[in-house]
Structure 1
Amino acid sequence: MDAETVEAYNGNTVEIAPQHPLESGGARVEVTDEDGTKWELDLDRDGSYEVVASWDETGALADVAVPEYVEDLLTRMG
């Protein structure tokens, strides 16, 4: 599974990298914003997701809210 770099509607460059399929039929993906913030998400078939972990721009594990543009990007990647 290859990573894809896309531009979010806020102008940020974002990398979406599928990690592995889930038993439920979805996939785990890693989303990295150009500022260094990163989220690991479990993506369901219906497009909903659950945050597994997130890191701030310094790379420290942190509770970082997922930006609104992430759902749009995941939908576009389908």
Structure 2
Amino acid sequence: MTPRPERYESTDQHDRADSSEPTLAQDPTESAEAAEPTDPTERNDPTEPIDRVEPTEPMDRNESRDQSERREEAVMGRS
């Protein structure tokens, strides 16, 4: 029974402090700025598949070289 009035009183104090403090008006704008689409897009840029393609490109080149060498060996072995 005692915690209920304490919680109610604490919420009243917070509400009164919120309404009297002008900084609260700035808080929602700050959170809105942080929620702008620019932040998630910037985070998505480094996670784009382009970064994954870069390390795979040299591997593909090595694989193609190996395949071309194998083809040459096969051609040389036939003749």
TM-score higher than 0.5 here? no
Structure 1 or 2: more helix by fraction: 2
Larger Rg belongs to: 2
TM-score, normalized by length of structure 2? 0.16
**Relative contact order (alpha carbons < 8 A, sep ≥ 6): 1 or 2 greater?**
1
TM-score, normalized by length of structure 1? 0.17
